[in-house]
Chains A and B, each alone.
Chain A
Amino acid sequence: MNKIATNHSPENRRFQSLSSRLSLWIIAFVSLITITVLAYNHHMSRDLLEKYVEQLAIKTTTSTVQDIETVLHAVSSNADSLAAIIPSPDITEEHIRQILEAFVKTNSEIFGMAVALEPGVLNKTTGDFSPYFYKKDKTIAYKDLSDETYQYKNWPWYKDTKTGNRSTWSEPYVDTGGGDVHMVTYSTPVHLEDGKTFAGVATADIQLSWLDEVIKNSKIGKSGYGFIVSKNDTIIAHPDRSLHLKPLSSLAIDSENWKKYLNSKTSSEARYFYTPSCRISEDGCWVAIKTSAHSGWKIIIVIARDSLTSEISHLTIIAAVIAITGLLLTLLITTLITHRLTTPLKNLALSTRDIGSGNLDRPLPKAVRNDEIGALSNDFNAMRESLKKHISELQETTAKQQKLESEIQIARDIQMSMIPGAGTADIVDERFQLHALMKPAKTVGGDLYYYQVWEDSLRFIIGDVSDKGVPAALFMAKTVTLFTRALKENLSPGDTLTMMNEILSQNNDACMFVTALCGNIDLLTGNITMANAGHMNPLIKAADGCKEHEVDGATALGLMEGIQYQDICFTLDHKTSLIMYTDGISEAHDCENRQYTDERLLQLVSTGDAEDPGAIGDNIIRSVEKFSEGTEQFDDITLFIIRYE
């Protein structure tokens, strides 16, 4: 018991509660889903953001280029229209000055405009002529560029335009004479009416400071910014003003990588690419480039990749925090629910252990919920009650059974007390020896023997009631009682059986019957008178062997009324034994259902050395017991042996 209890105690096994297992599985599963969703979301968001930023960058560069071109076009068209009207014969030098001043005054974008004429080409002048109007302190200032100090014909804006004979935008420069401002100049040649002959140059200056405003509008996100480089890759506008007029290569960039984009022939298209080396980010940058067809300027927008990544990471971290909070809440709720669900199960387990140890009195707490567990709890309670009832009934039945058994035991004592010697009798007399044995198959039986020595005679009966057990025992009692009555009435064996049959046959609806041999030996002569009521013939054993002695009789007692049993007389020699037995011996069964048989009994007694009735009896019983070893005794066994000395 102790061992069993130990094996089943919760301490000795790896106990994992249902609630913790369920919570664990749910959390593991939900976590997996959440991580997958977060990772997917992170990836997709980055893709989407990058795509969005690309579009935005391209759009911004394109619109910036448009803005710049609008201004540049306005400025250049002024210079172009000035150049177109100069060759006209009606235009005098004074006219030119007036027009210049008017243009500078009316065009806010224009810082200054100049005209420089090639001496001797136009008829309106023979010498150098180069008036220049520009803005200074909110007024229009005039300067003659043809004076000795300036010598306009030696300046690139004039020389280059004359040589190239086409309009150009200059590279940015610092105008030292005009107030230290960063400027670019549009120069366009003045042609004669033939449209070919070079007659001078018209210029328009524009300050680069307005580009600062333009690139301010091209900011993207926190880190994305735009800047502008000239045709020759000089920085003309940058949020970092110290970089102004520095070459593009002064930015710590992988210029080789950029070059193919910067020099691309299809410069009108906006380009978008990733460069691993980038001044503003170690993680590299996304770069958008768009070239202005008009000026050859390039608008470049740079976006640090890590700023995009950090945006997305930030979003992902927020999502993860929300998810973890959700998971913890789920864990809490799952644990609470499963705890609520499994508490009745734990009570059930406790109750089961109690029932297992025999305590059926501990009731379960009544199930409050109307679900499966509630039903199980109620059923379990019902089972416990039912078990309790059954066990109590079983105890009652067992008590009854015990009482019955003790009663049968008493019945056995009574039955045995009804026959001489209470089941075994041995008499050794100088005239005879007697050995009697009755061994019921059950506690009580239906076999019987009885004898009485009266003066010089021994009167006896051996009988076998049909069937065995209690019914046979009752019938046996009646039979023995009738025999003792016959003894008192001093009836002959035949009359004894006749009288007994008459009484036993009456009202015998159960058709119980008794086979019996009844006899009377004259102990002086050995003369025997016997009567047989359906019993097996006795055996007679002499020194020279054993044989069956037929005692002719009639039907067993109890079956038929009105039978007269006959007395059969014969004489028993000295030193001869008369052996009588019941079919419990001859019909004893072995393990394979074979019978002991009369023949085997006859053989045993014939060949046996035993002479005394006790010894003969012991031999027979030993032989039968050996034969039927391993089986229950089949029927009541009775032996009755008389030896005439």
Chain B
Amino acid sequence: MSLTIAVTAEANNGKRVSITGSLDSNTAPELQQTIDQEINDTVNTVIIDFKDLDFLSSAGLRVIFKAKKLVDGNSGKFILVNLQPQIKKVFEIIKALDGMNVFKDQDEMDEYLTAMQNKVIEGE
């Protein structure tokens, strides 16, 4: 099974990485390469969209964690959205969802992002 990666721009210097297919040890290097190219310290928010991902292996998880570490290091926001049950289960087994911004769908994520935005404005 192959992996298709689509990167789209989001508001506030955000980038959405939509992954389709199977993220396993064969395809993980492709995602790694895309992330290395697309994500730098100017990107504030990185959204990984799992909507059409069918399978996630530990090799894929490693790439996600590495991306999170990169974004966290840049003080950006790292968001996982549209996790299907079997994908969510993979995260749950290794207990990796604590400390992650995970949203079940677009609405929930938008709500969170709006709230964060307001917080910043109020803070100023």
- B95 with A554: CB separation less than 8 A: yes
- B61 with A513: CB separation less than 8 A: yes
For A469, what are the chain B residues with a Cβ–Cβ distance below 8 Å? 25
Partner of B58, one of A553, A560, A583, A593: A583
- A467 with B25: CB separation less than 8 A: yes
**Does A341 sit at the interface, judged by CB under 8 A?**
no
- A556 with B62: CB separation less than 8 A: no
Least distance between A35 CB and chain B CB atoms (Å):
71
- B99 with A560: CB separation less than 8 A: yes
**Does B93 sit at the interface, judged by CB under 8 A?**
yes
Q: Which residue of A lies closest to B24 (CB)?
A: A634
Question: Interface readout for B38-71 with A: 1 if CB under 8 Å, 0 if not?
Answer: 0000000000000000010111011101100100
**Does A559 sit at the interface, judged by CB under 8 A?**
yes
Known A513-B61, A583-B58; judge A468-B25 contact (CB<8 A). yes
Q: Which residue of A lies closest to B28 (CB)?
A: A467
**Does A512 sit at the interface, judged by CB under 8 A?**
yes
Known A509-B69, A593-B1; judge A467-B62 contact (CB<8 A). yes
CA distance A105 to B76 in the complex (A): 154
**Does B98 sit at the interface, judged by CB under 8 A?**
yes
**Does A534 sit at the interface, judged by CB under 8 A?**
yes
- A513 with B65: CB separation less than 8 A: yes
Known A464-B58, A468-B25, A511-B62; judge A559-B93 contact (CB<8 A). no
- A511 with B69: CB separation less than 8 A: yes
Question: Interface readout for A558-598 with B: 1 if CB under 8 Å, 0 if not?
Answer: 01100000000000000000000001000100000101000
**Does B96 sit at the interface, judged by CB under 8 A?**
yes
Most buried by A among B1, B24, B93: B93
**Does A515 sit at the interface, judged by CB under 8 A?**
yes
For A587, what are the chain B residues with a Cβ–Cβ distance below 8 Å? 57
Q: Which residue of B lies closest to A586 (CB)?
A: B93
**Does B94 sit at the interface, judged by CB under 8 A?**
yes
**Does A101 sit at the interface, judged by CB under 8 A?**
no
Known A467-B25, A556-B95; judge A511-B58 contact (CB<8 A). no
**Does A439 sit at the interface, judged by CB under 8 A?**
no
Least distance between B32 CB and chain A CB atoms (Å):
10
Known A467-B58, A468-B59, A509-B69; judge A534-B93 contact (CB<8 A). yes
Partner of B93, one of A465, A511, A536, A595: A536
**Does A635 sit at the interface, judged by CB under 8 A?**
yes
**Does A466 sit at the interface, judged by CB under 8 A?**
yes
Most buried by A among B59, B69, B98, B99: B59
Question: Interface readout for A516-538 with B: 1 if CB under 8 Å, 0 if not?
Answer: 00000000000000000111100
- A466 with B93: CB separation less than 8 A: no
- A534 with B69: CB separation less than 8 A: no
CA distance A554 to B62 in the complex (A): 17
- A535 with B69: CB separation less than 8 A: no
For A511, what are the chain B residues with a Cβ–Cβ distance below 8 Å? 62-63, 65-66, 69
For B55, what are the chain A residues with a Cβ–Cβ distance below 8 Å? 593, 595
Partner of B66, one of A510, A536, A583: A510
Known A466-B62, A510-B62, A583-B58; judge A556-B94 contact (CB<8 A). yes
Least distance between A382 CB and chain B CB atoms (Å):
36
CA distance A554 to B92 in the complex (A): 10
User: Which residues of chain B (75-122) have a CB below 8 Å from chain A?
Assistant: 93-96, 98-99
Question: Interface readout for A445-479 with B: 1 if CB under 8 Å, 0 if not?
Answer: 00000000000000000001111110000000000
Most buried by A among B22, B58, B69: B58
CA distance A512 to B28 in the complex (A): 13
- B59 with A467: CB separation less than 8 A: yes
- B28 with A559: CB separation less than 8 A: no
User: Which residues of chain B (3-55) have a CB below 8 Å from chain A?
Assistant: 22, 24-25, 28, 55
For B66, what are the chain A residues with a Cβ–Cβ distance below 8 Å? 509-511
CA distance A556 to B93 in the complex (A): 9
19 sample A-B contacts, Cβ–Cβ < 8 Å, listed by A number: A466-B58, A467-B25, A467-B28, A467-B59, A467-B62, A468-B25, A509-B66, A509-B69, A511-B62, A511-B65, A512-B62, A534-B95, A536-B93, A555-B94, A555-B95, A555-B96, A559-B96, A587-B57, A635-B57
**17 additional contacts (CB under 8 A) given A555-B98, A635-B57:** A464-B58, A466-B58, A467-B57, A469-B25, A511-B63, A513-B61, A513-B62, A515-B94, A533-B95, A534-B94, A554-B95, A555-B94, A556-B96, A559-B65, A593-B22, A593-B55, A635-B25
Chain B residues with a Cβ under 8 A of chain A: 1, 22, 24-25, 28, 55, 57-59, 61-63, 65-66, 69, 93-96, 98-99
